[in-house]
Structure 1
Amino acid sequence: MSRSSDFDSLVPAVPFSRRSFMVSALGAGFALSVQPVAAQSVISTDSVDLNAGEIKIPAAGGEMPAYRAQPAQGNQWPVILVVQEIFGVHEHIRDICRRLAKLGYLAIAPELYARQGDPRQYSNVQELLDKVVSKVPDAQVMADLDACVAWAKAHDGNVGRLGITGFCWGGRIVWLYAAHNPHLKAGVAWYGRVVGPSSELTTKQPIDIAARLYAPVLGLYGGADQGIPLDSLEQMRKALVMAANPPSKASTIHVYEQAPHAFHADYRPSYRKSEAEDGWRRLQAWFKQNGV
């Protein structure tokens, strides 16, 4: 598949309401719905030698808050989009951006629910899912991620070396974005579902677009994940193997047999240190071997 070098037309017109933003700034700490945080295991990455903090991304309907981290020196850094869990851009997601910046990347984590509501105000996970997460259209998410790429291009990011990673809700988005943006080089999806029902807002699942990826995706999953059955991962593997195009065939799924869902989330009881560290090493190798 050809990859145009013209990024100026990257943001397409999309079929969702140009509603204004309900959330205009990022909050501190963690979402209420993940309290109490397992403080003893939280990884904290400093901002020494980094430029890190909140930015505003021009997007449909106004300005979208996002967290950005990049090296303090240099320019033309490769770009990695970081896609949140269902809990929004809280401290764990911001820390991941700083970890990536320490590796030499410009990392951007947009608050992708900002038009639908503030995930910080919900103490109940089901209420958060019902009132905010379920109302976020995939088309909106794709366009907002494109807007982040446009921002990175205008602020000294090398969007010719573009990657994406995401967790849980964001893991599913990684697969979708790999079939959306022809300029993407690689993606790493952490325990994002690959099969599920479709709706007016979520018209496709990763299994539906597996054969049409523009970039190879590394999927990292837990064998003890109660929400993502192993047979669904086998379905996805088969779809990738049977694909005709090279990016899909180059994609792979790695399963940590004893790991639960959210094994990389160091602020939660689900955290598994050895699997999380191994997955992080795999992420780095995957991006490097695919030109990010």
Structure 2
Amino acid sequence: MTLETKWIRYGKNEEYVGYMAKMDRVNENLPAIIVIQEIWGVDAHIQDVAERFAQAGYLAFAPDLYAKNGCRIEDLKAERVEEVKSFMDSLPHSVWNNPAEREKALDELEEGKRNRVTKTFETMFGGLNSAHYIEELLETSRFLREECKASKGQGVVSVGFCMGGALSGLLSSRDPQLKGAAIFYGNPPSTEELKNINCPVYGFYGDLDKRISEHVPNFAEQMKKQGKSFEYQIYPNTQHAFFNDTRSAYNVESARDAYQKVLQFFSQVLK
């Protein structure tokens, strides 16, 4: 059986767009997985992840958080994002969070490219606009439960990566009908948001990703105190973005184990 993949417009005024993947001969009664993008958008990797979940028997849907009314602004167009990704991949990972070293590397670029990379970088990394993105994710969840023919009436879960991981956790506190949320190397919800989590949560982290992984034990303790369900894996000798097989941080053993566990998790919460 082959996959059906396509871009879907949805929302009250069709203001949102997302990448949908499902088995092509199955048109109803599919539980749905919202696949929430990394900072790089719904790129080839995120589309591939959605297709993997579709091959596992789900309807997978990746909302393009950078698109409004079907289009991206100039600074966030795919080719501009790829230009930033290529620039960042050319640097040692230690430079990513070192503004001075990053600026030094930018100064070595040709002027036009330097200006494009700087502007797109600032637009992408200027702060997580969670209040804006969460409304789109809530509409995505509602659309999949109530309007999408293939998943109408079925359960919905979420999985997100990096920026999307943080948004997956946030969605679990805002959508009372969400069945489960998986967080891949994303920041945990705030203490106040955590109190409103409505479903089981599973987290996947790399132990070398200290900026995020060092906060996980406290997140687990807070979840326990609030009577929430939270499981997690911190993989040894594993970096941030370990699940992304297009990046240098990819760790095949950790990614393989996490994929198996997240599928088991979704199977359990969607029963």
Using structure 1 for the length normalisation, give the TM-score: 0.73
CA shift in 2, pair 1:101/1:224, >3 Å: same
Choose the corresponding residue for 2:130, options 116, 125, 138.
138
- Residue 73 of structure 1 corresponds to which residue in structure 2? 25
Conserved 8 A contact 2:5-2:21: yes
How far apart, in 2, do the equivalents of 1:129 and 1:172 lie?
Answer: 19
Shift of the alpha carbon at 1:206?
3.7
Shift of the alpha carbon at 1:175?
0.7
Q: Extract unaligned runs of 5+ from structure 1.
A: 1-47, 195-204
- Residue 139 of structure 2 corresponds to which residue in structure 1? 147
Shift of the alpha carbon at 1:235?
1.4
SS at match of 1:266: coil
Instruction: Using the aligned pairs only, state the percent identity.
Output: 25
SS at match of 1:147: helix
Conserved 8 A contact 1:160-1:183: no
- Residue 275 of structure 1 corresponds to which residue in structure 2? 254
1:89-104 superposed matches below 5 A? 89-104=42-57
What amino acid does structure 1 have at the position aligned with 2:261? R
How far apart, in 1, do the equivalents of 2:49 and 2:253 lie?
Answer: 17
Conserved 8 A contact 1:79-1:158: no
- Residue 203 of structure 2 corresponds to which residue in structure 1? 219
RMSD: 2.1
Conserved 8 A contact 2:182-2:203: yes
SS at match of 1:254: strand
Shift of the alpha carbon at 1:226?
4.1
How far apart, in 1, do the equivalents of 2:33 and 2:257 lie?
Answer: 19
Choose the corresponding residue for 1:243, options 197, 201, 226.
226
Bigger helix share: 2
Larger CA Rg, structure 1 vs 2 = 2
CA shift in 2, pair 1:158/1:278, >3 Å: farther
Instruction: Figure out how many residues of one structure are paired with residues of the other and give that number.
Output: 229
Q: Extract unaligned runs of 5+ from structure 2.
A: 89-117
Conserved 8 A contact 1:119-1:128: no
CA shift in 2, pair 1:262/1:127, >3 Å: farther
Conserved 8 A contact 2:174-2:196: no
Conserved 8 A contact 2:206-2:213: no
Conserved 8 A contact 1:265-1:271: yes
SS at match of 2:126: helix
1:1-292 superposed matches below 5 A? 49-58=2-11, 62-74=14-26, 75-115=28-68, 117=73, 118-120=76-78, 121-122=80-81, 123-124=83-84, 127-134=119-126, 137-152=129-144, 153-156=146-149, 157-194=151-188, 205-230=189-214, 232-244=215-227, 248=228, 250-291=229-270
Conserved 8 A contact 1:220-1:253: yes
